[in-house]
Structure formats: structure tokens, C-alpha cells
Chain A
């Protein structure tokens, strides 16, 4: 079963605009990770935020984490056509020694040139 839900399920924006995706999850976590998946390909790791962190940046990506609300958001600034992909959040459970990830349902992002 999926741990989390991403919102929205699909998002279309103009190139250059910012894209925001949200993720909610259910159980305590060690960390939360965001992955990108291009059509027909595997997942690519984007950013990892630990449970004791509130915000993290990597290039054009900004991730926030609110453990009290069990939610996270991913912001992509100045979007490009190459950002078109599905984005998934994944949680690493608070269970040291078992690193399996539980993925959300994904947000399908389309950047319109």
C-alpha cells in the first residue's frame, strides 16, 4: 500500500514558472526523499531531508518538511521543459536497519514551452 499522497496528481505550467508539489504521509520517519521519474525510466534521487530538518535547498529545488503535520512540499523554481516528469515523495521509516522506502502516488508535472 502507498504510504503517502501527492497533491496535485497532475500539474501543467508555463516554462519559467514555479511548480509546487505536496506530499502527506502517515507514520514516523527517519527521512523523506523526493525522486523524479521520466517516462519509461527509473527513478532519480533529487533531495533527502531528515526528520530533524525543516527546509533544504539544492539548486532550483526547495523542500520543506513539517513532521507535526506529516507533510512535505517540493518547489521547483524557474521551471524548464526538461523538468517534465513524474515526481514522487518517499519515506524512510523510523526502523533502523530496514531502509525500504514507501512511495506516494506521484505528481505528473508538464512544463509547457
Chain B
């Protein structure tokens, strides 16, 4: 079946603009995660959904970052008033809400803020 799909693959925005990044998880996967990956580093957790409920948003760097998953499927990560330090790859992952299950990652959105 289809894997996790993210769009766009690349996004260039000017500082101060708002951006929206989309994630289509694997069908039937209850859990959805967003991670931020800086160049040469491992992914860092941003936020976690179980169905439409956002259970953990402790990793969001500031109140400019907002994520939603209104129908428990597709998720959107929105960044308002972008800053240069927001430049990174944003990865989405999904998994079955069952103990000890791996996460399945999309190829990410590479965001560049000019």
C-alpha cells in the first residue's frame, strides 16, 4: 500500500511569510508525529496526534508553530511569520497505536527561509 506522503517536497519562503506543510499518513494509522531535522542532525520531536487529538505538543519551538489533524487522517503543520532558524526538513511519521510498533516516515518537506 501507499506510504506516508508529504507535500510539498521543497518550500522556499521569505522571512515573515506563513507556510503550511501537509502530511498524508498510511491509511488506518492512528498515531501521527511531526519531527524537525536540522542539517546533519537526528530528527527532533515536535508534536504527536492520536486520531484527531493532539496529545503532546511539547516539542513545538514557539507559538508560531501550529499543527492540526481535524478528521484524524491528514495533518497540517503551519508556521506563521517564518524566521531563518525555521529552515529545516520537516518529517511526518505514522504508526499503528499498538505497543512497540515502528514509525513509518515520509520523505519530508525541505523548508528554506530566505
Contact between A45 and B48 (Cβ–Cβ < 8 Å)? Answer: no
A43-B91, A44-B105, A45-B103 given; A2·B48 CB < 8 A: no
Q: How far is the CA of A103 from the CA of B31 in the complex (A)?
A: 18
CA distance A31 to B56 in the complex (A): 19
Closest B residue to A42 by beta carbon equals B105
Q: Does A33 contact B (CB under 8 A)?
A: yes
**B93: A residues at CB distance < 8 A:** 42-43
Using a Cβ–Cβ cut-off of 8 Å, how many residues does chain B contribute to the interface with A? 28
Residues of A within 8 A of B56 (CB): 98, 100
Partner of B102, one of A33, A41, A42, A88: A33
Q: How far does the Cβ of A3 sit from chain B's closest Cβ, in whole Å?
A: 9
Are B100 and A31 in contact, CB atoms less than 8 angstroms apart? yes
Task: Check B43 against A103 for contact (C-beta < 8 Å).
Answer: yes
In the bound complex, do residue B107 and residue A106 qualify as a contact, i.e. CB atoms below 8 Å apart?
no
| A/B interface sample: 23 pairs, CB < 8 A | A2-B41, A2-B42, A2-B44, A35-B105, A41-B107, A42-B105, A42-B107, A43-B43, A43-B103, A45-B104, A48-B100, A48-B102, A50-B100, A96-B99, A97-B55, A99-B48, A99-B103, A100-B56, A101-B43, A101-B103, A102-B45, A106-B40, A106-B41
Contacts from A to B (Cβ < 8 Å): 1-2, 30-31, 33, 35, 40-45, 48, 50, 88, 90, 92, 96-106
